[in-house]
């Protein structure tokens, strides 16, 4: 019985096994795949809206709201200064504000896009209470940090229209990856 079964098996798979050489492929063989497997469901607008917090450098995705440095200063002192320092360069964690005495990478000398400041604060800050700030507060803090770095004025309004237009000092320094393998050290 067993022998018969094995015989049947081997004759059936003979054709395929003769062609196959086993290596270490980096993707599966898709030859016999259908156009669609039909797994998963369509995601409705409401779900996408709930999860989509992306902000593009051209401002796409920025919510309604506005803020100035003046409004952001007290929020910064209450919610950010314990980690980043009252001045933005004198805290135990990442330095955010340019200080001539140090060569640290800050928003003022290293961040190439102002939209990133809003996006990052909204998604991940404060460290001990991520996602707890309102869009209005995030605009105010963004304005404050840009002001502290000498990029906007104290009373300047920052909103979805103005933020992507702000020119960041470090932008011109950024270049794409130029490494290509081979002997050249880059």
Partner 1 sequence: MLGGAAALGLVLVQDSFGKVVQEAKPLFDVPKDPTKILGVPPGSLGTRSPFEQPQKIPSITSSRTPLQQLFGTITPSDLHFERNHGGVPLIDPEKYELVIHGMVKKPMRFTLQDLKRFPSFTRICFIECSGNFRTGKAELTPQEICGLTSQSEWTGVMLSTIFREVGVDPKATWFLAEGNDAAVMTRSIPIEKAYEDAMLVYAQNGEALRPEQGYPLRLLLPGWEGNTQIKWIRRIELADQPFMTREETSKYSENIAGGKIRQFSFLMDARSMITFPSYPLQIQKGWVEIRGIAWSGRGKITAVEVSTDEGKSWQTAALQEPVLSKAHTAFRLLWHWNGKPTVIMSRAIDESGYYQPSYKELVLARESKGGYHFNPITAWEIKNDGSVWLVNDRS
How far apart CA 3 and CA 7 sit, in angstroms, is 6
What minimum distance in Å lies between the beta carbon of 3 and partner 1? 33
How far apart CA 184 and CA 121 sit, in angstroms, is 39
Structural tokens at position 22:
């086993």
What minimum distance in Å lies between the beta carbon of 101 and partner 1? 19
Binding to partner 1 (CB under 8 A): which residues in 121-180? 123-124, 127, 130-131, 170, 173-180
How far apart CA 125 and CA 130 sit, in angstroms, is 5
CB-wise, 11 or 35, nearer to partner 1?
35
Beta strands 66-67 and 158-159: pairing type? antiparallel
Binding to partner 1 (CB under 8 A): which residues in 21-40? 24, 26-28, 30, 33, 35-37, 39-40
Question: Dihedral sign, CA of 76, 77, 80, 86?
Answer: positive
- The residue within the footprint of partner 1, chosen from 76, 89, 111, 139 (CB under 8 A), is 111
Number of alpha carbons in the 13 Å side-chain half-sphere of residue 132 = 9
Contact letters for partner 1, residues 87-106 (x by CB under 8 A): ------------------x-
By the 8 A CB rule, do 108 and 167 touch? Answer: no
Q: Is 114 helix (H, G, I), strand (E, B) or coil?
A: helix
- The residue within the footprint of partner 1, chosen from 6, 8, 9, 53 (CB under 8 A), is 53
What minimum distance in Å lies between the beta carbon of 109 and partner 1? 10
List of residues contacting partner 1 (CB under 8 A)? 24, 26-28, 30, 33, 35-37, 39-43, 47-48, 51-58, 105, 107, 110-113, 115-116, 119-120, 123-124, 127, 130-131, 170, 173-183, 185-186
């Amino acid at each position: 019985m067993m022998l018969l079964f094995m015989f049947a098996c081997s004759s059936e798979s003979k054709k395929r096994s003769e062609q196959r050489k086993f290596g270490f492929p980096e993707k599966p063989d898709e030859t016999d795949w259908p156009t669609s497997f039909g797994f998963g469901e369509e995601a409705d607008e409401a779900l996408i809206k709930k999860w989509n917090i992306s902000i593009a450098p051209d401002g796409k995705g920025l919510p309604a709201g506005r803020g100035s440095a003046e409004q952001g200063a007290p929020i910064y002192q209450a919610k950010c200064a314990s980690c980043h320092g009252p001045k933005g360069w004198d805290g135990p964690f990442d330095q955010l504000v340019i200080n001539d005495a140090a060569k640290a990478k800050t928003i003022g000398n290293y961040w190439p896009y102002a939209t990133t400041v809003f996006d990052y604060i909204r998604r991940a800050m404060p460290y001990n209470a991520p996602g707890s700030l309102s869009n209005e507060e995030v605009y105010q803090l963004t304005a404050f940090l840009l002001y502290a770095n000498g990029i906007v004025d104290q009373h300047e309004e920052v909103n979805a229209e103005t933020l992507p237009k702000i020119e960041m000092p470090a932008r011109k320094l950024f270049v794409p990856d130029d490494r290509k393998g081979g002997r050249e050290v880059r």
